[in-house]
Amino acid sequence: MYTRVTEDNFRNTFLASDYKNNFSYDGLTALYDYFSELEDELGEPIEFDLVAIAGEYSELTIKDLRDNYSIDKDIDVIEYLQENTIVIEIENSDSVIIQDY
């Protein structure tokens, strides 16, 4: 049995949980959009597992990504990460969400 998760449900569930500081409001919107598009591509629903998402994805600034993954300043961070993992860009932000690897 499935319940349709709306964008508001998705954000509000995170914001009311122990994981409320894992993602920004705009980051949660980007995550929701990513999973909605993935459902459309797969042609089947994806189970909403808050704990799995919080454990598998991280929102970081470009500077933090460069520091955490020792990415040289001459390398485009987004392009580098896209070769290694899922990168979800957040509109009008200096942060992105990556699938941890």
Most confident stretch, 26-35, 60-69, 71-80: 26-35
pLDDT tens per residue across span 21-55: 999 999 999 999 999 999 999 999 999 999 999 99
- What DSSP assignment string belongs to 81-101? HHTTS-EEE-TT-SEEEEE--
Which residues contact residue 57 at a Cβ distance below 8 angstroms, ignoring those fewer than 6 apart?
23, 31, 88, 97, 98, 99, 100
Q: Chain-wide mean pLDDT for the chain?
A: 93
What is the per-residue pLDDT for 4?
A: 83
The residue extents of the domains of the chain are: 7-99
Q: Is the pLDDT of residue 85 over 60?
A: yes
